[in-house]
Structure 1
Amino acid sequence: MISDALVARLCDRVAASTSDTFSTVNVFTGGTLAKVPRSSPEDVAEAVEAARKAQQVWAGVAVADRIPVFERFHALLLKHTEEILDILQAETGKSRKDGFLEVSAPLVTVGHYARKAPKLLAPQRRQGMLPGLVKTRELRVPKGVVGTITPWNYPFALAFMDIIPALIAGNGVVLKPDTQTALCTLFGVDLLYQAGLPQGLLQVVIGDGPVVGTALVDTADYIGFTGSTRTGREIAARAGQRLVGYSLELGGKNPLLVLADANVHQAAVGAVQTCFSNSGQLCMSPERLFVHTAVYDDFVQRFLNEVKRMNLAAAYDYSADMGSLTSQRQLETVIKHVEDARAKGATVLTGGKARPELGPFFYEPTVLTDVTPEMLCYDNETFGPVVSIYRVADDTEAVERANATSYGLNASVFSKSIAHGEHVAAQLKAGTVHINDGHVVGLGSADAPMGGMKDSGVGRRNGAEGLLKYTESQNISVQRVPLTTPPRWLPFGWYVKSMQGLLRLIRRSNIR
Structure 2
Amino acid sequence: MIQSALDFVRSLQEQKKAQGVWAEKSVVERQQVLSQCLMAMRAQAESLATEIAKAEFLSKPFVQETVINPSLRHLETLSHRDFPENRNNIPVGLMALVAPDYLSFRWLTENISAALLSGNAVYVQMNEMNQASAHCLQPLLSKAPIQWVFAPGKEGEELENILSSHPGIRAVAFSGTPSRAEKVLRAGVSSWKKMKIESGFHNSALVLGDADLRGATKALVRSCFTGMGQLPWNITNILVLESQLPDFERFFLEELSNQGMNGENALFSMTGQNDFERMQKISEQIRSENGKILWQGQFPELKVQPLVVRDLSHCSTLQQDCLRAPVVLISPVKYAHEMVKWCNTSYYGQAAQIFGTVEKAEKIAAKLEVGHVFINQWIESLQALDFGQKQSSYGILDSQAFGAFYSEHRKIDIQESIS
Indicate the SS of the match to 1:469. Answer: coil
Pairing 1:50–2:14 present: yes
| Selected match of 1:431 from 364, 371, 388 | 371
**Alpha-carbon distance between aligned partners in 1 of 2:45 and 2:156, rounded to the nearest angstrom:** 29
For 1:455, the aligned partner's letter is: Q
**Alpha-carbon distance between aligned partners in 2 of 1:466 and 1:299, rounded to the nearest angstrom:** 47
Aligned pairs (5 A) from 1:108-507: 108-116=73-81, 118-119=82-83, 122-123=85-86, 139-193=88-142, 197-198=143-144, 201-207=145-151, 208-219=155-166, 220-313=169-262, 318-328=264-274, 330-352=275-297, 355=299, 357-358=300-301, 361=302, 363-372=304-313, 377-416=318-357, 418-441=358-381, 443=382, 445-446=383-384, 450-459=386-395, 464=400, 467-482=403-418
C-alpha contact 1:325 1:384 (8 A) present in aligned 2: no
C-alpha contact 2:115 2:401 (8 A) present in aligned 1: no
For 1:480, the aligned partner's letter is: E
**Which residue number in structure 1 is paired with residue 29 of structure 2?**
65
Larger Rg: 1
C-alpha contact 1:285 1:438 (8 A) present in aligned 2: no
Identity over aligned residues, as a percent?
23
Query: Given the superposition, is the C-alpha separation of residues 331 and 321 from structure 1 closer, same or farther in structure 2, using an over 3 Å criterion?
Result: same
For 2:149, the aligned partner's letter is: V
Indicate the SS of the match to 1:476. Answer: coil
Indicate the SS of the match to 1:368. Answer: strand
Query: Given the superposition, is the C-alpha separation of residues 367 and 462 from structure 1 closer, same or farther in structure 2, using an over 3 Å criterion?
Result: farther
**Alpha-carbon distance between aligned partners in 1 of 2:279 and 2:256, rounded to the nearest angstrom:** 17
**Alpha-carbon distance between aligned partners in 2 of 1:265 and 1:48, rounded to the nearest angstrom:** 56
For 1:324, the aligned partner's letter is: M
Structure 1 residue 319, shift from structure 2 partner: 4.2
Structure 1 residue 464, shift from structure 2 partner: 3.4
Query: Given the superposition, is the C-alpha separation of residues 251 and 72 from structure 1 closer, same or farther in structure 2, using an over 3 Å criterion?
Result: same
**Alpha-carbon distance between aligned partners in 2 of 1:325 and 1:251, rounded to the nearest angstrom:** 17
For structure 1, the residue ranges without an aligned partner over 5 or more in a row are: 1-13, 16-38, 124-137, 488-512
**Alpha-carbon distance between aligned partners in 2 of 1:161 and 1:319, rounded to the nearest angstrom:** 26
For 1:144, the aligned partner's letter is: G
Query: Given the superposition, is the C-alpha separation of residues 334 and 115 from structure 1 closer, same or farther in structure 2, using an over 3 Å criterion?
Result: farther
Query: Given the superposition, is the C-alpha separation of residues 165 and 467 from structure 1 closer, same or farther in structure 2, using an over 3 Å criterion?
Result: farther
Query: Given the superposition, is the C-alpha separation of residues 373 and 50 from structure 1 closer, same or farther in structure 2, using an over 3 Å criterion?
Result: farther
Query: Given the superposition, is the C-alpha separation of residues 174 and 334 from structure 1 closer, same or farther in structure 2, using an over 3 Å criterion?
Result: same
Query: Given the superposition, is the C-alpha separation of residues 351 and 327 from structure 1 closer, same or farther in structure 2, using an over 3 Å criterion?
Result: closer
C-alpha contact 1:268 1:306 (8 A) present in aligned 2: yes
**Alpha-carbon distance between aligned partners in 2 of 1:409 and 1:122, rounded to the nearest angstrom:** 35
**Alpha-carbon distance between aligned partners in 1 of 2:391 and 2:304, rounded to the nearest angstrom:** 28
Deviations 1:137-158 (A, max 9, x none): x821111111000122233222
Structure 1 residue 468, shift from structure 2 partner: 4.1
Indicate the SS of the match to 2:337. Answer: helix
C-alpha contact 2:261 2:268 (8 A) present in aligned 1: yes
For structure 2, the residue ranges without an aligned partner over 5 or more in a row are: none
Deviations 1:66-116 (A, max 9, x none): 112222212222322343334324433233233323333322321232344
**Alpha-carbon distance between aligned partners in 2 of 1:164 and 1:455, rounded to the nearest angstrom:** 26
Pairing 1:98–2:62 present: yes
Deviations 1:52-77 (A, max 9, x none): 21111111111122112222212222
Indicate the SS of the match to 2:290. Answer: coil
Structure 1 residue 467, shift from structure 2 partner: 4.7
Structure 1 residue 245, shift from structure 2 partner: 0.4
Indicate the SS of the match to 2:8. Answer: helix
Query: Given the superposition, is the C-alpha separation of residues 265 and 467 from structure 1 closer, same or farther in structure 2, using an over 3 Å criterion?
Result: farther
**Alpha-carbon distance between aligned partners in 2 of 1:346 and 1:300, rounded to the nearest angstrom:** 15
Structure 1 residue 343, shift from structure 2 partner: 4.2
For 1:114, the aligned partner's letter is: S
For 2:224, the aligned partner's letter is: C
Deviations 1:444-485 (A, max 9, x none): x24xx8202111112476763795421111112211243xxx
Query: Given the superposition, is the C-alpha separation of residues 65 and 140 from structure 1 closer, same or farther in structure 2, using an over 3 Å criterion?
Result: same
C-alpha contact 2:208 2:241 (8 A) present in aligned 1: yes
**Alpha-carbon distance between aligned partners in 1 of 2:128 and 2:189, rounded to the nearest angstrom:** 26
For 1:204, the aligned partner's letter is: W
Indicate the SS of the match to 1:87. Answer: helix
**Alpha-carbon distance between aligned partners in 2 of 1:462 and 1:190, rounded to the nearest angstrom:** 27
C-alpha contact 1:275 1:387 (8 A) present in aligned 2: yes
Structure 1 residue 223, shift from structure 2 partner: 0.2
Give the alignment's TM-score, normalised by structure 1: 0.75
Structure 1 residue 376, shift from structure 2 partner: 5.6
Runs ≥4 residues deviating over 6 A: none
**Which residue number in structure 2 is paired with residue 107 of structure 1?**
72
Indicate the SS of the match to 2:150. Answer: coil
